[in-house]
Structure 1
Amino acid sequence: MATVTLCGYPCAGKTERAKQLATFLEAKLADPATPPQHRGKKVVVVNDESLSLPKRAYDDARAEKPARAALFSAVQRNLARDAIVLVDAMNYIKGSRYQMYCEAREVGVRTCTLFVATPPEQCRERNAARDETSAYLPATLDNLISRFEEPNSAARWDAPLVTVAADDPPLDQRSAGAEAGVHGSEAAEQIWRAITEGELKPPNLATQTIQTSSTSYLSLLDSTSTLIITTLLSRQSLSPLSGPTPLTLPTSPAPTRITLELNKPVTMPQLQRLKRQFTQLNARTASGREFREKEIAELFAQYLQEQLR
């Protein structure tokens, strides 16, 4: 039915908001006034606690990567047209939120982002009050806060975006004098409208997964994306990137011409990170189809375009 991706600083109160939202959604789904096509759906909350992932997993990048992968795998398993999946995690990297968005589009469900906006100092106070097993190390907490990429309603993977402040009312609390059929706050009702009435976007080239029937195909994915990176960096070395940047790639049987809309410099580490994300996202068995070199180039170019905005 839908996925709601929560995001915010560590200790921002996301889990409490997820519980409130789950209570609100379950009441909505059980309401006889709710349209029949929405009743009977289930609400699933996926978070670190449900997967037994310790806070220490975020102390270093080597431990954090498999933890994020485990979370994403759990989301993939639960995404379905008869479920509302609440992704109760920091989701502080926009690339991770983009993955959730792509997976939802592939399954054919609506998406929404809930940003729990809590001041950093309040997050630090909450972390200090936790016991050792559920608290982040102070250095880890500061690192995660500094790396947080705030959601943007203009980005398709973050839209529609609903923001709640730390002192906003509970999501499952009705406003005084609310009319019949209202089960929660205005923010909760806004989320409900987004996941039941919002635009249902079909899968497109950027969200289709690729059949990996051979190691040679994985090599083609890697070599084609590497070709774009080297061509782009070469172009940048000649002149600053500003506006449309046309690139000509020596693909077979004919050159491939793509254009990227870039307005800021890019770096090799940044592009390599995006290449790894792209390969991981697309090198999964699903559609039974392998794209040609030209199609892979266009697919990776589209991915870069969205990530480098």
Structure 2
Amino acid sequence: MALVTLVGFPSSGKSTRAQELSAFLAAKLALPSTPPAIARLKTVVINDESLGLDKSSYDDSRAEKPARATLFSAVVRALNKETIVIVDAMNYIKGSRYQMYCAARESSVRTCTVFIATPPAKCAEWNATRPSTSSYIEPTLENLISRFEEPSSAARWDSPLITVPSFDGSLAVAPEGAAEGISGSADAERIWEAITTGDVKPPNVATLPVHTSTTSYLTLLESTTSLLITTLLSQQALSPLSGTTTLVLPTTPAVKVQLNIYKPVSMPMLQRLKRQFSKLNQQAQTELTQEQIARLFAEYLEAG
């Protein structure tokens, strides 16, 4: 039915918001006015605690990667047309959110991203009050915050994006004098609208699980992304990037793509995004045409 991805700093109050959202959805599903096809849905919350993952898993990259893989696998298993899946995790890496977005498209379910906006100082304060079994050590907390990749409504995998400030009231409490059928806050109602009436994006060539990834395709992926980077840097050398930029890749036939970039880009930054994109594309195990690779990579650079 839907995937709701919570995003936020560690110790930002995501679990509290997940519980509020779960309570709101339960109340909403129980309303007599809710259509039977929606009322029969169930809600599942997936987080580190439900999967038995310790906070120490984020102390180093070797332990973090399998922890994130465990979370992703649990999300994929839970996705179906009868379930609203709430992912109560940091989801601080753009690539991880993109993976879940692709999985949602494979399952033909709606998506919604909820950004729990809490200042780092408040996160540190809340983390310090938690028991050692459910808190992050200070170096890990600082490292995760510094690596956080904030969601953007311009990125299709983060859209629709709903931001919930830390100082807002409960999602499960309707404003005073609310009309009949309103069971939660304005943000909660927006989430409800997104997951019940939003567009269902069907699977396409970028998300269908076709087991290929041949050597020739990996070569095409490498050459196309490298060529786009070279062309983009050449364009930047001619004039500053300040909006919509059209790139013509010197391929046969020529491939033309457009991207919106408003700030200078550097080779290290582009290479980092290229590695992320290539890894995600290989994990999807789908072979795209050169034009599709260029277009999707351009979209990925826009969000980066």
TM-score normalized with structure 2 length: 0.85
1:56 aligns with 2:56: yes
Residue 261 of structure 1 is matched in structure 2 by: 260
Residue 292 of structure 2 is matched in structure 1 by: 295
From the superposition, tell whether residues 50 and 216 of structure 1 become closer, same or farther in structure 2 (CA, over 3 Å). Answer: farther
3-state DSSP class of the match of 2:46? strand
Matches of 2:206 and 2:213 in 1, distance apart?
A: 20
Residue 277 of structure 1 is matched in structure 2 by: 276
Matches of 1:274 and 1:28 in 2, distance apart?
A: 40
Identical aligned pairs, as a percentage? 61
3-state DSSP class of the match of 1:266? coil
The one-character-per-residue Cα deviations of 1:140-194 (angstroms, maximum 9, x if unpaired) are 2123223333334454433333333334332223444544433333332221122
Map 1:131-280 to 2 at 5 A: 131-203=131-203, 207=207, 211-212=211-212, 214-252=214-252, 254-280=253-279
Residue ranges of structure 1 left out of the alignment (5+ in a row): none
From the superposition, tell whether residues 88 and 285 of structure 1 become closer, same or farther in structure 2 (CA, over 3 Å). Answer: closer
Q: What is the deviation of 1:85?
A: 0.9
Map 1:76-87 to 2 at 5 A: 76-87=76-87
Q: What is the deviation of 1:205?
A: 5.5
Deviates more, 1:139-148 or 1:169-178: 169-178
Residue pair 2:206, 2:288 contacting (<8 A) in 1 also: no
The total of aligned residue pairs comes to 304
From the superposition, tell whether residues 235 and 64 of structure 1 become closer, same or farther in structure 2 (CA, over 3 Å). Answer: farther
Residue pair 2:205, 2:288 contacting (<8 A) in 1 also: no
Residue pair 1:24, 1:188 contacting (<8 A) in 2 also: yes
Q: What is the deviation of 1:103?
A: 3.0
From the superposition, tell whether residues 228 and 161 of structure 1 become closer, same or farther in structure 2 (CA, over 3 Å). Answer: closer
Matches of 1:7 and 1:264 in 2, distance apart?
A: 25
Residue pair 2:55, 2:135 contacting (<8 A) in 1 also: yes
From the superposition, tell whether residues 41 and 176 of structure 1 become closer, same or farther in structure 2 (CA, over 3 Å). Answer: same
From the superposition, tell whether residues 149 and 213 of structure 1 become closer, same or farther in structure 2 (CA, over 3 Å). Answer: closer
3-state DSSP class of the match of 2:84? strand
- Counterpart code for 2:268: P
- Counterpart code for 2:279: Q
- Counterpart code for 1:148: F
Residue 17 of structure 2 is matched in structure 1 by: 17
Residue pair 1:206, 1:303 contacting (<8 A) in 2 also: no
1:68 aligns with 2:65: no
RMSD between aligned residues:
2.8
Residue pair 2:28, 2:183 contacting (<8 A) in 1 also: yes
Matches of 1:185 and 1:214 in 2, distance apart?
A: 49
Q: What is the deviation of 1:47?
A: 1.5
TM-score normalized with structure 1 length: 0.84
3-state DSSP class of the match of 1:157? helix
